[in-house]
Amino acid sequence: MLTESHEALAREVLIHGPIGRSALGRRLGLSPASLTRLAKPFLERGLFVERGEESNGAVGRPVRPLDIAPDLGSFAGMKITGDAVYAVLTDARAQILAERVVALRATTPEAVVGVLAGIVSDFSAVTTAPLVGVGVSLGGAVDDSGRVIRAPFLDWVDVDFGPSLSSVTGLNVTVENDVVALVEAERWFGAGRGRSGFSVITIGAGVGYGLVVGGESVHTRGAGVGLGGHIPLDPTGPLCPQGHRGCSTAVLTSIGMCAQVASALGRPVDYAEVLSLAAAGDPVATAVVDAAARGLGRMIALAANLTMQPTVVLAGDGIGLWELAASQVRVAAAADRDPLAEPVEILVDDAGFRAWARGAAAVAIQAAVARLATSELLRGDPAAPRRP
């Protein structure tokens, strides 16, 4: 009978492989006999492979680490914004094999399904491993069926997007909030890999927040409603569109920063120009960037203080703020942290939109691993197809 232990084993080998059986047993709390029994169906169906013998430095037989099969499958991850789709093709460990950016001429669900289906077709034509799953992430609230409850940037409400895309592509489709997906990518494959707890703060057109505690992501019904977007950071700061003074949306978003500089200069500016002006010493842009850096440092300290997780991962398409003002951010974070507390560890994922797309691929990979534990792949004929 298949159990949750099969899924746990598949997850550990995927994330940490190649990994020896003794290390696996310790991580999963399994005896050697139990581990051998659980691994057997994965090995028989070619989902796992044994790597060459390695010495672990101890007396005894060399170990043969377990790893996932190199041709297990490939995955498409796609991040949808209000004007473009950022897509990556990855292997089963979310390593990027190819990528595309496609502008959206229309944002109706039907139009977006057509764009994503075209990208899937393109990726299928170039991958050597079968494309076995599609992950989609967007800013908004999503339920477990792949229905988009609300996506403000796309003006969507109650859209059965996942089932529609699956019907067109014939593939398993996983739809998730973009911050949730990014947190999962950082937890399994990214900066947070191997850490039991950390916060994720994303900056860009919006501000996102996620949390991992005890090795597991904290999922709530609030994911997708922008809970990180209105944290008060500066009592004298600008107003956000909802009238909150000095909140994270007003202080940290690229939209808010551009609005402040544009108002002072009397002309439109984009985010890249704001950062460029600040780097060149423009007083208006410098003041805005400095305030944003202080605000980001304060938000980092708040995340570490309130969650008691001293590691914070920064990501998002607005990560240029960190690249320009890292020292100010660190000083501000330390100022709001008790001197006796463990210093905050700030990790940075500077992949921009590629990180968002990789997050979408990660949730597709997670869904595939979950399917392995209930799939006919682990039953019946060992010669059965291996599609997860």
Q: What is the pLDDT of residues 123-167, one digit of tens each?
A: 999 998 899 999 999 999 999 899 999 999 899 999 999 999 999
323 Rama sector, left if φ>0, alpha if ψ -120 to 50, beta otherwise: alpha
Beta bridge partners of 202: 208, 315
Give the torsion sign (CA, 338, 236, 288, 83).
Answer: positive
Same domain as 363, residue 339: no
| Domain housing 125 | 74-184+354-378
- Nearest partner of 142 among 130, 152, 127, 128, judged by Cα: 152
For residue 385, being part of any structural domain is answered with: no
Number of domains forming the structure of the chain: 3
- List all residues 6 or more positions away from 43 whose beta carbon is below 8 Å from its beta carbon: 49, 50
Residue 238 and residue 249: Cα distance in Å, rounded?
10
Band of pLDDT at residue 347, cut at 50, 70 and 90: very high
For tokens 């979408």, the residue is 360
**CATH number of the domain that residue 46 is part of:** 1.10.10.10
Same domain as 111, residue 29: no
For residue 386, being part of any structural domain is answered with: no
Q: What is the pLDDT of residues 100-120, one digit of tens each?
A: 999 999 999 999 999 999 999
- Nearest partner of 259 among 235, 230, 217, 291, judged by Cα: 291
Residue 307 and residue 59: Cα distance in Å, rounded?
43
Same domain as 338, residue 210: yes
pLDDT at 170: 97
Is the per-residue pLDDT at 1 higher than 50?
A: no
Is the per-residue pLDDT at 346 higher than 90?
A: yes
Domain stop point among 68, 100, 121: 68
Same domain as 223, residue 203: yes
For residue 383, being part of any structural domain is answered with: no
State the Cα angle at 36 between 31 and 38, rounded to 5°.
95
**CATH number of the domain that residue 82 is part of:** 3.30.420.40
